[in-house]
Amino acid sequence: LLVEPPWRPAVLWDRVTLTCQGLETAGATTWYRNGQRWGQEGSECLTITESGTYTCDRPSNGRSPSVTVSNARLVLQLPAQELLEGDTVTLRCRC
């Protein structure tokens, strides 16, 4: 599950778009919000307008890891990349 922009945690006011990546065609995508089927079924991209925990499912790949999108007013964000001890990282405090 690809999240744009690539900051964690994801917040609504960043205009978050989720893309379900996999081997199947776009029509095979099922979206879930808080464990329930939700949204634009069949579309591989989803622009988030409500906070919650999202996953997608494609027949050949199974269900994706979850992504939580919050509506928090103040967050400390970090890049959504794997970090190792000693790496330099940019944090941003958003409000």
For every residue of 5-60, DSSP letters joined together read S-EESEEGGG--EEE--SSS-GGG-EEEETTEE-SSTT-SEEE--S-EEEEEEETT
Q: Binning pLDDT at 50, 70 and 90, where does residue 36 land?
A: very high
Provide the domain count of the chain: 1
The answer on pLDDT for 65 being more than 80 is yes
Q: Which structural domain, as residue segments, surrounds residue 90?
A: 2-94
Contacts of 74 (CB under 8 A, 6+ apart): 93, 94, 95
**Residue type, position 14, single letter:** D
Q: 62: domain CATH number?
A: 2.60.40.10
Q: Binning pLDDT at 50, 70 and 90, where does residue 40 land?
A: low
Identify the pLDDT of residue 48: 93
Helix (H) or strand (E) holding 85, with range, is: none
The answer on pLDDT for 42 being more than 80 is no
pTM: 0.81
